[in-house]
């Protein structure tokens, strides 16, 4: 079955180029390398969007680094300024006494990150940091800040570099703004 997305990348406006991403990810990797010199870190990604950022970030960190992953399903109620997050996959390893860096592609309402922060804290890590590629503060419901941030973006729907619309576009190398017709044509 051929299920192509309604709008191809060639008809979308690019917001952040692969070169900008590469440069910023290298800078964040360098910051983490310096902050945790001579120590190990565990990079905990949130499926699925964070996988591309995590894989590039991991290769720019010159430390012993292991990976683990959370899976979540979430529902945000922007009218009531609330929402619900549910864990669909827990980490496979104990995070106790570890330098944990939670890695996300995007901070939007903040519900997912706040929820996962609480989950990680119950493990009693040695340290806890948040690394996020994109911050979209316009819809924040619960306050939270990233320790390592790639880019702050306006209130637009973005795809590419891990970010999807209906599971499409995750493998694009640049980050694009999804135009309104992509939503209306399903
Ligand atoms: C996105 C993103 C974060 C979450 C952030 O995940 O990857 O996990 O939303 O939003 P929040 O700040 O409003 O909680 P999504 O549900 O799109 O799943 P995906 O990672 O599989 O794309």
Q: What is the pLDDT of residues 89-105, one digit of tens each?
A: 999 999 999 999 999 99
Given CA atoms 89, 85, 43, 163 in this order, what sign does their dihedral have? Answer: positive
Residue 56 Cβ < 6 Å to ligand 1: no
Where do the domains of the chain lie, and which CATH numbers do they carry? Answer: 9-184 (3.40.50.2020)
Query: Separation of 38 CA from ligand 1 center, angstroms?
Result: 32
> Tens digit of pLDDT for each residue in 35-85?
999 999 999 999 999 999 999 999 999 999 999 999 999 887 877 777 899
Yes or no: say if 153 and 138 are a contact pair by the CB < 8 Å rule.
no
Ligand 1 in reach of 104 Cβ (< 6 A): yes
Give the chain's mean pLDDT: 94
pLDDT at 1: 56
pTM given for the model: 0.95
Say how many C-beta atoms besides its own lie within 10 A of residue 116's C-beta: 21
**Chain centre distance of CA 104:** 2
89's CB contacts (< 8 A; 6+ apart) are: 47, 69, 70, 71
* Burial state string for 136-171 with b = 16 or more CB within 10 A and e = fewer than 16: beeeebbebebbbbbbebeeeebbbbbbbbeebbbe
- For residue 159, report the distance from its CA to the centre of ligand 1, in Å: 12
Atom of ligand 1 nearest to the CA of 109: 13
């Amino acid at each position: 079955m051929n299920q192509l997305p309604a709008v191809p990348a060639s008809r979308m406006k690019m917001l952040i180029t692969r070169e900008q991403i590469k440069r910023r990810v290298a800078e964040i990797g360098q910051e983490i390398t310096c902050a945790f010199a001579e120590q190990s870190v565990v990079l905990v990604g949130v499926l699925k969007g964070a996988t591309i950022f995590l894989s590039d970030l991991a290769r720019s960190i010159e430390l012993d680094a292991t990976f683990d992953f959370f899976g979540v399903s979430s529902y945000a109620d922007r009218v009531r300024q609330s929402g619900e997050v549910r864990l669909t996959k827990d980490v496979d390893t104990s995070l106790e006494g570890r330098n944990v860096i939670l890695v996300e592609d995007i901070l939007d309402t903040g519900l997912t990150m706040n929820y996962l922060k609480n989950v990680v804290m119950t493990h009693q890590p040695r340290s806890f940091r948040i690394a996020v590629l994109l911050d979209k503060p316009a819809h924040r419901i619960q306050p939270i800040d990233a320790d390592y941030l790639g880019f702050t973006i306006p209130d637009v729907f973005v795809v590419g570099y891990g970010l999807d619309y209906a599971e499409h576009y995750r493998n694009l190398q640049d980050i694009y703004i999804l135009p309104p017709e992509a939503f209306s044509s399903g």
